[in-house]
Structure 1
Amino acid sequence: MDYNSNSDKKPAKLWILADDRPGTFSQSLALAQALKIKYEIIKIDYNFFSKLPNFLLKLYPLHFNRNNLKQLVEKTINNNLQPQIIISAGRKASLIGIFLKKKFEKTKLIQIMQPEINYNKFDIVILPNHDKPKYKKGNILYSVGALNQINPEIIIENKEKFKKIFNKINQKIVVLLVGGNSKKNYYDKKSVIKLCHETNNFVKKLNCQLLILNSRRTSPEITQLIKKNINCQNIFFEWDKVKNNNPYLASIGFADYFIATGDSVSMISECCSSGRPVFIFDQKKISSKKHRIFHQELYKNGYAFPLNNIENYDLKSFYNMINELKVSKLNEAYRISKEIIKKFNIH
């Protein structure tokens, strides 16, 4: 268990429980930054018991080192440094959050994503709209997609870092973001070829520069298919080659248009937070029913648009379609933070 404070020597008022899942940690960090409260990152290491379902772990949480956590609790209480808020995200961290809340009676516990345990154990549970339960509780806040860290400061910082690459481009930029296979969904050859076909048509009609970024989940087979079937001018930032110096956040700042595959809620949410047009490519095999509910919510509210049959547009009608788009900017971390500040009477 590791501890990391974000600024000065004053005690942190907020703890982020950070585990080995980047997606859950990213949402927790986004909310903490939006709340503008001094935070401390509490890194959690799980053992093999973490694979057990929560209905078993809630009886006796065996999936983390309780001795380390008890030492942290004792030190915190002895020095009167109990946090005002704890943020947990995902089912595994939720039980650790509950354990800590029992020790710190006045601490508020915020859970992001499904905890797979009774919602009443938390002060606030943040769920995406596409993941709504059949019943409603007063402590649930709903978000459009995933909370994310896209804000002017982080974009400016990353644009400056990668400006030598992007400043050489004198055309408008289309960024293609590619996900990959998951437990329930997969990319078949036909879908990848169709993605490339739609992307080629989009880029050529607008005479843009294409940047391609894949992800951890993108298999070598998908990557090779994309390389083989994209026939417009492009720069491919392969995840394996740039993972230690990834221009992903810079690309969000420099992009004029996005094409994103429909399987990643976090990736799409980050694109929609840019305020630029986002086109979602989706096929049934790529994404789940929940993903498609999410897409429809974005389409309905002008955050994103479907990428379909670009070849059917002539050049004039395509330009007209692009120029008439009314794009809404997603900023859920900020919106949710305002509700929490009001609910908890912070500041």
Structure 2
Amino acid sequence: MISQNRSNNSLVVWRLLDGKPGHEHQSQGLVTAMQQRRPVDVIDVPVGRGGSGWLSLVAGIWPTGKHLPKPDMIVGAGHATHGHMLAAKRAYGGKTVCMMQPSVPAEMFDVCLIPEHDQYRGFSSFIETRGVINHIQPTATEKKDSSDVLIMIGGPSKHFVWDELAVVAQVYDLVRKHAEVHFILTTSRRTPASFVSAMQRVSLVNLTIIPIADTDKDWVQTTLAHVSNAWVTEDSVSMVYEALTAQVAVGLINLSAKGNSRVSRGIEKLIDRQLVSRYDPYGLYRQYMRPVLGFNEASRCCEALLAYFNSHATKRRLVSRLT
């Protein structure tokens, strides 16, 4: 099903969706930032996860867009959207915005939004991002409840060693030493059931456990809007950036990296820049944990994109690197 809401004299953006919530949150963050700046008609186009987009590109047709208003911009996150984005552009025009470093040459797209930890060194027009863009909206610090803290737990991953006993020990120590604080712990799809069982056996009076199965799609955003601090396991990179965007102080629950991966490099950059703090049993993190005001990659990238596409010199290459 294709949803659309068309008005006159507005920017028409086709947002291609592969059905993965994480990817859709990325593109939602970008188009929401656009709508905060100018009239934008966003048309959500589900494309699934198959490879039919590449066949459409070769054929020079894209039947899905036949009855839609022609796009000014085509946005996609996730590999499954790439062929469809290029096929849609060939058939109907518009500028393509790929929200990652693609597996095909990045020069095939008009602009790519590429996380700095990918260390891209190609020749496409691109904007370097701090992590992946997300849909979280910043909340004013004065609206947050300093007595509530959120803990977000990941699980086994390609980039970090999952040490369940160490995570339980760190969470227990953190919660026990802050008896005046109410902690809310949630999990992810990767969290082993054994972790939840272990935390329930610990039975801390100031800890409420809400597994992901008991939350809805907006639960994290709503909760981040009122808590003062968030603690996140190092493997849960997307949740780290969501917490930063929500303007809460962010702490990391320690895990060992599996070598020097792009994801672990991204975490180390955040620590080096003092944007996040690692947990330590001595409480040294307290002097470093603070909200990072103005951390909003969707807003920053939106400004750069609109300026680039609105300029008359669109043939020049866009390169926006972080410093």
1:179 to 123, 142, 154: 154
Determine what percentage of the aligned residue pairs are the same residue. 18
Larger relative strand fraction: 2
Tell me, in whole angstroms, the C-alpha distance in 1 between the residues paired with 2:176 and 2:260.
Answer: 26
Is 1:345 paired with 2:320? no
Deviation at 1:295, TM superposition (A): 1.6
Q: Is the contact made by 1:187 and 1:222 (CA closer than 8 Å) also made in structure 2?
A: no
Matches within 5 A, 1:6-155: 7=5, 9-10=7-8, 13-36=12-35, 37-47=40-50, 50=51, 61=54, 70-76=62-68, 81-105=69-93, 107-133=94-120, 135-152=121-138
Describe the SS at the equivalent of 1:235: strand
Q: Tell me which residue corresponds to 1:54.
A: none
Q: Tell me which residue corresponds to 2:298.
A: 333
Letter in 1 for 2:33: A
Greater Cα offset, 175-184 or 262-271: 175-184
1:242 to 215, 228, 236: 215
Letter in 2 for 1:140: F
Is 1:216 paired with 2:208? no
Greater Cα offset, 248-257 or 217-226: 217-226
Is 1:272 paired with 2:271? no
Letter in 2 for 1:297: K
Tell me, in whole angstroms, the C-alpha distance in 2 between the residues paired with 1:218 and 1:227.
Answer: 14
Letter in 2 for 1:103: A
Tell me, in whole angstroms, the C-alpha distance in 1 between the residues paired with 2:288 and 2:163.
Answer: 33
Q: Tell me which residue corresponds to 1:162.
A: none
Q: Tell me which residue corresponds to 2:169.
A: 194
* Structure 1 gaps, min length 5: 51-56, 160-165
Letter in 1 for 2:150: V
Deviation at 1:12, TM superposition (A): 6.3
C-alpha distance 302-227 of structure 1, shift in aligned 2 (>3 A): same
Letter in 2 for 1:279: G
Tell me, in whole angstroms, the C-alpha distance in 2 between the residues paired with 1:242 and 1:278.
Answer: 21
The two structures have a TM-score, normalised by structure 1, of: 0.77
Letter in 2 for 1:132: Q
Describe the SS at the equivalent of 1:103: helix
* Structure 2 gaps, min length 5: 312-323
Q: Tell me which residue corresponds to 1:261.
A: 233
1:322 to 286, 297, 300: 286
Tell me, in whole angstroms, the C-alpha distance in 1 between the residues paired with 2:177 and 2:130.
Answer: 27
Q: Tell me which residue corresponds to 2:318.
A: none
C-alpha distance 336-94 of structure 1, shift in aligned 2 (>3 A): same
Q: Is the contact made by 1:177 and 1:212 (CA closer than 8 Å) also made in structure 2?
A: yes
Tell me, in whole angstroms, the C-alpha distance in 2 between the residues paired with 1:93 and 1:213.
Answer: 30
Larger relative helix fraction: 1
Deviation at 1:288, TM superposition (A): 6.8
Q: Is the contact made by 2:152 and 2:231 (CA closer than 8 Å) also made in structure 1?
A: yes
Q: 1:56-110 CA deviation, whole Å, 9 max, x = no partner?
A: x8xx836x9999x73333334xxxx2100000112221111111111123x1000
Tell me, in whole angstroms, the C-alpha distance in 1 between the residues paired with 2:147 and 2:258.
Answer: 28
Q: Tell me which residue corresponds to 1:283.
A: 255
Tell me, in whole angstroms, the C-alpha distance in 2 between the residues paired with 1:323 and 1:8.
Answer: 50
